[in-house]
Chains A and B, each alone.
Chain A
């Protein structure tokens, strides 16, 4: 799976020729090969990256006034909540506040088209061709029918670094943040992680 969350932080792609030229600029004989240097550079970069991001906790970057839905909410109501609040996804929780799943725009697209990895343009095409009304399933289904479950959750004290890796490995964009009793205390998105302070600065 592509590690998209780290692309922005990927080390500069240095070539063997770059290293060779740099070595020539340093006077004196360096008893190291360009490939040794590259290996060192990449490893050092990884260590620097985890050092700079490990210390920041999810609690510091999450959104705490989280907008949620209940599992028996009709999709019309869920869509309205998302529309009014300008959000592209929300957690579905039970009465105790425990996250059961997450609903995103992607889940709506999938239920409308009826299969995985559907996109908005497919829906536009089908509507323009006047085939069938894709809204039918949306009218009758409930939040619990389309949510992605079980919810992938993280703790408030988890590091931003670990959560970034989780997002990348699971291919998700947001996850509920819970306390020690599994009750929701916030939500963290890829955008929040991008804003996470590095180099030990205050958020």
Chain B
């Protein structure tokens, strides 16, 4: 298969999921994000969105939209986000005057480290990026960022995923822990 033939693709998209699955994905992700929002409201006050980062939305896609995926498993969710958060903060500090370089290195290094640790979790790429581009509030957190908001949010999402996905008759979660 040559270079251009490869670009045509070889297979087809997986099938539609059932209406019930759609509803469950909708409800689960609503509850997951709502739980983080509620924690945020209780502990941080209504105005500050300190606990909510965009990469949790991407994790919700996997945890509630494709809970069987290897990428959605607890090892990947927790390991991926924590490693990526740490790597993101580190590059942000090292290349403080070159944010574009810090951002690129944070994302690419996070992916490489997730591969090496079998914790690949696509949303964590955004967690690494957010450490660099998240603005003064995130920068002020420094190495607290992996703990708050990342670890707190991940823990809440994991808990909701366990409670919700196993309550549905045709779902289970996780496929594996470690």
Tell me the A residues contacting B by CB distance below 8 Å. 16, 20, 23-24, 27-36
Contacts and interface: CB of A to CB of B under 8 A. Distances in A.
Contacts of B171: 27-28
A27 B14 contact: no
A16 B12 contact: yes
Nearest 7 A-B pairs (CB), nearest first?
A35-B11, A33-B11, A24-B15, A29-B66, A27-B170, A31-B69, A31-B66
Interface of B is mostly: loop
B18 interface: yes
B71 to A, nearest CB: 7
Contacts, number: 49
B123 interface: no
Contacts of B11: 16, 33-36
Given A33-B11, A34-B12, A27 B71 contact: no
A31 B12 contact: no
16 contacts: A20-B15, A23-B15, A24-B16, A27-B17, A27-B21, A28-B171, A29-B14, A29-B17, A29-B25, A29-B65, A29-B69, A30-B68, A31-B69, A33-B14, A34-B14, A35-B11
A23 B12 contact: no
A79 B80 CA distance: 74
Contact of A29 (B20, B68, B170): B68
A130 B15 CA distance: 68
Contacts of B16: 24
